[in-house]
Structure 1
Amino acid sequence: MAETHFQTTQPMTHQMVKAATAVTAGGSLLVLSGLTLAVTVIALTIATPLFVIFSPVLVPALIAAALLATGFVTSGGFGVAAVTVLSWIYRYVTGGQQTAGDKCDSAGMKLASRAREMKDRAAQLTGAAAS
């Protein structure tokens, strides 16, 4: 028995709106990551001499290290978020990403197929037992 697969597709405009939104979010996060990195480096460049002049050696070193670590971690976090969004966009546009509805439809079809197989098998066994 041939099995048909029903696939629901979204209108092209709906897909384009989703893609545009995701591209905007990914691009914004990427820009925010770059800006954070630039501001961190500039702030560190300006603040380090002031710390050295007005404080003992260890205090500005600790503050500079904390600022540096905070800036790089924040920048890296925004970068990872941007790459994640952009990779999701790529998978979504190329069709590599299944939606929850598609997964449910697929599971329902598998369940229905198994139920038919079990019904046919039961009919065969009861027919063989009756003979």
Structure 2
Amino acid sequence: MATHERPANLVQIHTTQLRHDQGGARSLILSQGPSKGKILTVMALLPVGGILLGLAGITLAGTMIGLALATPVFVILSPVIIPAALTVGLAVAGFLTSGTFWLTGLSSLSFLVNCVRQATGRLPEKMENVKGRMQDMAVFTGKKTKEVGQKIKNKAHEVGPEGQGQSQSQSQGSGKLEK
């Protein structure tokens, strides 16, 4: 058995990673390559990827063969196919637009009906509230009018008949001065 000795100038390199433990301590980990799990994953997915790549190639080849066979038919029938395709496309666009307008109109009507329902649902409550406020205001105005009338009556009794005559003579006297 022969022993292999390494030359002195050859250095083996290990990659290092810094890892934080749960306690917060740092430790160095020497990684020596991919793990067994990664290798098994690659080994399992390699045939799947190959099969999918092969299916993609077969699909591309079938599409190219079909296009090569159909191109002369399309060229010969193009005066009929192009207007037919345009007609079908415009009909589909019309149906989609009609459906969109129908849906928009229906949702708008639904929104308006909900607004009317909410307004009429609250209207009797609001009317009762307004009636109550109007009655309160009428009562308040009546009381205030009575109070003001009573104050005027009291002032008239305080001034008496003399005050009324004086105020009339003063107004007549001032009228004579102005002339």
**Is the TM-score greater than 0.5?**
no
Counting helix residues as a fraction of each chain, which structure ranks higher? 1
Counting strand residues as a fraction of each chain, which structure ranks higher? 2
Larger Rg, first or second structure (1 or 2) = 2
> Relative CO higher for 1 or 2, CA cutoff 8 Å, sep ≥ 6?
1
